[in-house]
Amino acid sequence: MHRGGGGTREEIARDILSYLLHHPAAADTFEGIVRWRILEEIAERTVASTEEAMRWLIARGLVREEKIARGRIIYRLDQARRDEAELLAHERKAEARERVPRSRRR
């Protein structure tokens, strides 16, 4: 399916047809169709941005990849870089707090 929050009329129409072809028993209201399209787009963006963030953390040595059974991979904090990870995590929290208007802070 096309992603990215929109697309041309034809791209969106193809997305809808593709969904209906893959789910021949599907039937929904207009609002329902809009909802599943939005949810799929959000899910894909979330997966893509999380993957990008994990690659960034791994490249900086803050998170390690470990292969486990059946070729699966798990991720864990590199304990040797814990202090650096804490600094980065707290920096992000401080930036988020600064974006919240003072009137909404508790």
Q: What's the pLDDT tens digit per position in 64-89?
A: 999 999 999 999 999 999 999 999 99
Q: Whole-model pTM?
A: 0.59
* Neighbour count for residue 37 (Cβ, 10 Å): 20
pLDDT for residue 2 = 47
* Residue numbers in the chain where pLDDT is lower than 50: 1-4
Token pair for residue 18?
Answer: 């593709």
CB of 13 closer than 8 Å to CB of 2: no
pLDDT for residue 19 = 86
Domain extent listing, the chain: 1-59
pLDDT for residue 16 = 87
Q: Going by C-beta distance under 8 Å and a sequence separation of 6 or more, which residues neighbour residue 36?
A: 19, 28
